[in-house]
Amino acid sequence: MPEGTDDPRLSAEGELALARLALDEGDLEHAAGHLAGAIAYAPTMPEVHEVLAQLAARTGGGVDLFPLDQHPFIGTVVARAHLLAAAGRPGDGLELLAAATGHAPLADWAGVPWVSAPELPGQLDPDQIARILMQVCAGIPDPVPEPAREPLWPYLRLARHAVAAHPRHGLLLGASSALARRVGALTLAMEWAGQGARELPSKLSEVWLGYAYRSAGRTEDALAALRRAVTHDPDDLSVYADIAGTLADHGELDEALEWIDRALTRDPGFDCAVHTGHRLRYRRDGSLDHLVALADFQRDHPDDSHEHSDLAECCHGQPWLGRVPAATEAVVAAIRQVLADGDQVTGGELRLGGLEPPSAMRSLLGEVPGLAVTVAAVPEPDLREPRRPVTHHLWRYDGTTAQPALSPPSASAVDRIRHLAHPAWPHPPAAYDAAVGLATVELDDLLGLLVHPPAPPATDLGRTLAEHDPTLWTRCVQVWVCLGLLHHRTDEPWPDSTRRRVLLDLVWGVEDWATEAALFALVTAAWMDPSVRAEVARLTAERLADAIVVGRRRPVSIQRSLAHLVLATPQAESSAAEVARHLLAQPAGGRQTPRPRRFGQFWHRMWSRLHR
């Protein structure tokens, strides 16, 4: 598509002027090139089509001036389509327009008179029209958002005229229904699909009818049609998954899973059934095991029949599974309040009852320059000390003031993290894959980013975070840096690797947001590599237990986040998961309910581990 224009019509007029000049000079190839540019900018502009007709008249059709090479320009494709139609080959022209729509569906490629002419379908084989409509459907969403439907109306008019010309062609009726459904013409979709099923009883006809009913909210009719589709072709397991998904959307999880089990009995590796089955089982009982099994299946079957979104759907919006949890410290609340008030605050004094994580404290000082912070007390265990002996230290303290213990990162490292960091991801394996962009960043730079987070980028997201919650940006940077650490020196075997040692140092170092980020990276490693799951499950249990020990003597602001991390851990220890759920069920800072039955068992085992 053309780029860099604010006024497509003005750009089209410029290309058109050059095309006319070249045509006057007899330079037909340059004229064709400029016409292709003009039609890409303004595909329905009458003047463009007038000059295209002049070119055709000068060259005996002009089709050869718009060749389809390996990567044709879209304007070339569309111009060729119109010339083919003018040369008596409208079916071939429609196929090219459908291809253009699949490539750029927001442009009105088909909004020209010949496509909507009532007599056109009578000149075409209805099988070809059906294929063209299915080609259009394959390149657009289901349903198409309302603002994006207008460029598709010419195809719907084509479908109306085609059905009128070939009223008993079952395949055409079904394909027309599929298009009508996508653009919101549901009454037409049901009418055409029903007529198609009567004219051509088949699996495909019943599937189209079922989809039309489902889009219109007629669930029972949809299920009846899809069940009839199964009787036509019991071996098409994708219909089983469709039935299961429809049942599940209406709360019939048990029956939905019966259909999934029927499909898996026929083919245990059928990807649609596997994905749908794990998603529905997760909806039924909430066990993370289903999502981990689905991730394992995706890793072991990279060539599935089509892309699935079940894992992303289940992880969407969930702490650590799909997003960075927001910080909860008192100083963070103060930052948000300052930003909400809209005043530029400098200086002043703030008294805190106790010390908070260094990343939170540094964020406060960054947002309120010159602020004098007084900490009333530093209760034991001292937050300024690592929870276990470590080699890599992020912070040093001057009294109660935290200072980075590392040099600032390089400009290239800053640039990479600013392009990569984001508060959400589809699921942990997707986050791992995305972080590969940090694989070549030096270790010192990665660690430096943890304590010297750059300003948010000048994007919509960056500006929003800067205006409302810059602490979330800092947490994003730390999370993605730690994910990047997973890609550091991957040639080293995991047990003795630098990446493992550094992440463990961060987990057991000074209590900080970097603790959460590093633990999430290790949890992500467990999602990716079954061989490390037992180790990571022990680690998350121990880190939560340590936070509970400390929390008996002073506040631990990251404790709830650690609980979420336990629940995001593959093969998490059952007692640790029970304690995590109990902790999260408590209102933050509120009255505690009785501990779960297995709390004592968990506590005894964790206490033994922590004091070896």
Write down the pLDDT at residue 4.
45
Write down the pLDDT at residue 595.
54
Segment 82-94 shows an average pLDDT of 97
Return the SS3 of 468.
helix
The answer, yes or no, to whether residue 302 has pLDDT greater than 90, is: no
**Could you please report the per-residue DSSP string of 189-252?**
HHHHHHHHHHHS-SHHHHHHHHHHHHHTT-HHHHHHHHHHHHHH-TT-HHHHHHHHHHHHHTT-
Write down the pLDDT at residue 377.
87
What distances in angstroms separate CA 297 from CA 276, 430, 548, one per listed residue? 12, 14, 35
Return the SS3 of 547.
helix
Q: How confident is the model at residue 368 (pLDDT cuts 50, 70, 90)?
A: confident
Which residues partner with 402 through β-bridges? Answer: 397
Return the SS3 of 270.
coil
Segment 30-49 shows an average pLDDT of 96
The answer, yes or no, to whether residue 305 has pLDDT greater than 50, is: yes
- Residue 76, classified by CB atoms within 10 Å of its CB into exposed (0-12), middle (13-18) or buried (19+), is buried
Q: How confident is the model at residue 156 (pLDDT cuts 50, 70, 90)?
A: very high
Q: How confident is the model at residue 410 (pLDDT cuts 50, 70, 90)?
A: very high
pLDDT in tens, 208-256: 999 999 999 999 999 999 999 999 999 999 999 999 999 999 999 999 9
Write down the pLDDT at residue 587.
84
The answer, yes or no, to whether residue 130 has pLDDT greater than 90, is: yes
Which residues partner with 350 through β-bridges? Answer: 373
Segment 302-309 shows an average pLDDT of 80
Q: What HEC string does 505-528 produce?
A: HHHHCCCCHHHHHHHHHHHHHHHH
pLDDT in tens, 256-277: 999 999 999 999 999 999 999 9
The answer, yes or no, to whether residue 300 has pLDDT greater than 80, is: yes
pLDDT in tens, 29-39: 999 999 999 99
Segment 423-449 shows an average pLDDT of 97
Look at 346 and 50; give whichever has higher pLDDT: 50
The answer to whether the beta carbons of residues 513 and 360 sit under 8 Å apart is yes
Entry pTM: 0.84
Q: How confident is the model at residue 339 (pLDDT cuts 50, 70, 90)?
A: confident
The answer, yes or no, to whether residue 554 has pLDDT greater than 90, is: yes
The answer, yes or no, to whether residue 67 has pLDDT greater than 60, is: yes
The answer, yes or no, to whether residue 1 has pLDDT greater than 50, is: no
The answer to whether the beta carbons of residues 528 and 429 sit under 8 Å apart is yes
- Residue 2, classified by CB atoms within 10 Å of its CB into exposed (0-12), middle (13-18) or buried (19+), is middle
Segment 386-392 shows an average pLDDT of 97
The answer, yes or no, to whether residue 591 has pLDDT greater than 80, is: no
**Could you please report the per-residue DSSP string of 99-158?**
HHHHH-TTS-TT-SHHHH-TTGGGGS-HHHHHHHHHHHHHTS-SSPPGGG-GGGHHHHHH
Q: Which residue has the tokens 């071996």?
A: 235
Mean pLDDT taken over the chain: 93
Write down the pLDDT at residue 345.
67
Tokens of 352: 């805190």
Ramachandran angles phi, psi of 319, nearest 5°:
-55, 125
Distance of CA 32 to the CA centre of its chain: 40
pLDDT in tens, 440-451: 999 999 999 999
pLDDT in tens, 500-553: 999 999 999 999 999 999 999 999 999 999 999 999 999 999 999 999 999 999
Write down the pLDDT at residue 394.
98
Q: How confident is the model at residue 372 (pLDDT cuts 50, 70, 90)?
A: confident
Q: By percentage, how much of the chain surpasses pLDDT 90?
A: 85
Write down the pLDDT at residue 579.
96
Q: How far apart are CA 355 and CA 376, in angstroms?
A: 8
Write down the pLDDT at residue 599.
53
Tokens of 609: 């581990």
**Could you please report the per-residue DSSP string of 14-31?**
HHHHHHHHHHHTT-HHHH
Tell me which residue of 140, 170, 168, 171 sits closest to 155, measured CA to CA.
Answer: 140
Taken in order 450, 456, 364, 337, the sign of the CA dihedral is negative
Look at 115 and 348; give whichever has higher pLDDT: 115
Which residues partner with 404 through β-bridges? Answer: 395
